[in-house]
Amino acid sequence: MTRPAPALGVYVHWPYCARICPYCDFNVVRDRGKVAEQAALVRAILDDLRAQRALTGPRTLVSIFLGGGTPSLMDPAAAAEIITLARSLWTPRIGSGGLEVTLEANPTDAETDRFAAFAQAGVTRLSLGVQALDDASLAFLGRNHDAAAARRAAAVAGKVFPRLSLDLIYALPGQTEADWSEALAAALDLGPEHLSPYQLTLEPGTAFDRAVRRGRFQPADEIRSEALFNLTQAVLEGAGFDAYEVSNHARGETARSRHNLVYWQGEDYVGAGPGAHGRLTLDGRRTATAAARGIGDYIAAVGTDGNGFAAEILAPREAAEERLLMGLRIDQGVAFAELEPLGLTPASPVVADLVAQGLLTPGNDRLRATRSGRLVLDWLTGKLAVS
């Protein structure tokens, strides 16, 4: 019996931002209003999607994610073209919440004014980067909006889109548990169904990384970071949000991000746009795709090769390591059957040892991290992968 083709998510990367934030190391460029370049990028993304449809064949489409960068700066008509094409190339899921279409947005007034047009274009879920809800923290983070603009954006988004998620950044220098409790309460007041609180990470090569090296500020230490992480879990659990992933909390199953579950459950996704990654099961083999990072390089690659990416077939061990890394992030964990190439079973000494340490949950079918295990995920996956 042939197995049904795996379901599919589509990720589209829009690299332009109004301002580059000092902590960010995503593949981004300043938006200098290059209209012709942006129009060429939209055409290249559309061509790339068509080319990837030829590879994947027919699939059930569960999610489209317009990420960045700042896709809320995109012309809503371009977003509509991309969404309409993806919906026609693959078969949108019917039932179980249907097709999720997420747009990442920054909460400036100019972008808020366009939310209705994005909803009209087919966006069903807004992921709003409020980051903080007090002006001092927003100024520290180098954001180009204040807390009042973030509140206005959330209020409009709540009316325009069926689903709303908020991104927050915590463990800012000097941030106390009282400060962070207040920020979480302010975010909950905005009525989202989903929250993604990320601990501030110093990414090499960013302005924040250089500032810390020069002694301009001290990042939160491990003890403070752990206290703030535990506080996040307790406050959001108390407010009825499940911590279904390390940094993702949803008010009930239907509020979980279907797109992120595609990544964490090891499903297939097409990546289009500069620097976008994809994972496709082609002829039974896990294939990793990576698009050229430069905007010009990406457009040129689509023009000459038909698609914008280079593909690599992952060895079974490599694919299993990736499953381990992704699967342990979520509450449901990863099936032992998927970890066979790593030789991991419920009886493996390393598994028994980590269960005894309270970092893994005992179980015969799935390998799952406990809350303490999720706190030391990199260490944990390192231990399991080399055992």
Ligand X SMILES: C[S@@+](CC[C@H](N)C(=O)[O-])C[C@H]1O[C@@H](n2cnc3c(N)ncnc32)[C@H](O)[C@@H]1O
Binding site for ligand X (CB under 6 A): 23-24, 26, 67-68, 70, 104, 106, 129, 131, 167, 169, 198, 200-201, 203
The item of ligand X, ligand SF4, none sharing an interface with residue 198, based on CB under 5 to 8 Å by kind, is ligand X
Dihedral (C-alpha) 57, 44, 75, 256: value to the nearest 10 degrees?
Answer: 40
The item of ligand SF4, ligand X, none sharing an interface with residue 212, based on CB under 5 to 8 Å by kind, is none
Q: How far apart are CA 352 and CA 371, in angstroms?
A: 17
Helix (H, G, I), strand (E, B) or coil at 292: coil
- The tokens 């028994």 sit on which residue? 352
Of 18 and 335, nearer to ligand X (C-beta) is: 18
Residue nearest to ligand X (CB): 129
The least distance separating ligand SF4 from the CB of residue 75, rounded to whole angstroms, comes to: 18
Q: How far apart are CA 171 and CA 218, in angstroms?
A: 11
User: Do the beta carbons of residue 328 and residue 73 sit within 8 Å?
Assistant: no
CA 91 to chain centre: 23
Q: Which two tokens stand for residue 213?
A: 């090296």
The least distance separating ligand X from the CB of residue 202, rounded to whole angstroms, comes to: 7
Contacts of 246 (CB under 8 A, 6+ apart): 329, 374, 377
The least distance separating ligand X from the CB of residue 24, rounded to whole angstroms, comes to: 5
Of 18 and 116, nearer to ligand SF4 (C-beta) is: 18
Of 26 and 199, nearer to ligand SF4 (C-beta) is: 26
Of 103 and 324, nearer to ligand X (C-beta) is: 103
Of 102 and 131, nearer to ligand X (C-beta) is: 131
Of 100 and 167, nearer to ligand X (C-beta) is: 167
Helix (H, G, I), strand (E, B) or coil at 310: strand
Helix (H, G, I), strand (E, B) or coil at 349: helix
Q: Which two tokens stand for residue 191?
A: 């009525």
Of 70 and 381, nearer to ligand X (C-beta) is: 70
The item of ligand X, ligand SF4, none sharing an interface with residue 169, based on CB under 5 to 8 Å by kind, is ligand X
The item of ligand SF4, ligand X, none sharing an interface with residue 10, based on CB under 5 to 8 Å by kind, is none
Query: Residues interacting with ligand SF4, by CB under 6 A?
Result: 17, 20-21, 24, 26, 28, 68-70, 106, 129
Burial degree of 112 (CB within 10 A; 0-12, 13-18, 19+): buried
R_g of the chain computed on alpha carbons:
21
Q: What are phi and psi of 12, to 5 degrees?
A: -120, 125
The least distance separating ligand SF4 from the CB of residue 263, rounded to whole angstroms, comes to: 18
CA atoms in the 13 A half-sphere facing the CB of 384: 35
Task: Work out the number of other CB atoms within 10 angstroms of the CB of residue 57.
Answer: 9
The item of ligand X, ligand SF4, none sharing an interface with residue 381, based on CB under 5 to 8 Å by kind, is none
The least distance separating ligand SF4 from the CB of residue 68, rounded to whole angstroms, comes to: 5
Q: How far apart are CA 276 and CA 295, in angstroms?
A: 11
The least distance separating ligand X from the CB of residue 90, rounded to whole angstroms, comes to: 24
The item of ligand X, ligand SF4, none sharing an interface with residue 64, based on CB under 5 to 8 Å by kind, is none
Of 206 and 370, nearer to ligand X (C-beta) is: 206
Of 129 and 266, nearer to ligand SF4 (C-beta) is: 129
The least distance separating ligand X from the CB of residue 62, rounded to whole angstroms, comes to: 21
Full 3-state SS string of 109-139: HHHHCCHHHHHHHCCCEEEEEEECCCHHHHH
Q: Which two tokens stand for residue 258?
A: 């279907």
The item of ligand SF4, ligand X, none sharing an interface with residue 177, based on CB under 5 to 8 Å by kind, is none
The item of ligand SF4, ligand X, none sharing an interface with residue 20, based on CB under 5 to 8 Å by kind, is ligand SF4
The item of ligand SF4, ligand X, none sharing an interface with residue 275, based on CB under 5 to 8 Å by kind, is none
The least distance separating ligand SF4 from the CB of residue 17, rounded to whole angstroms, comes to: 3
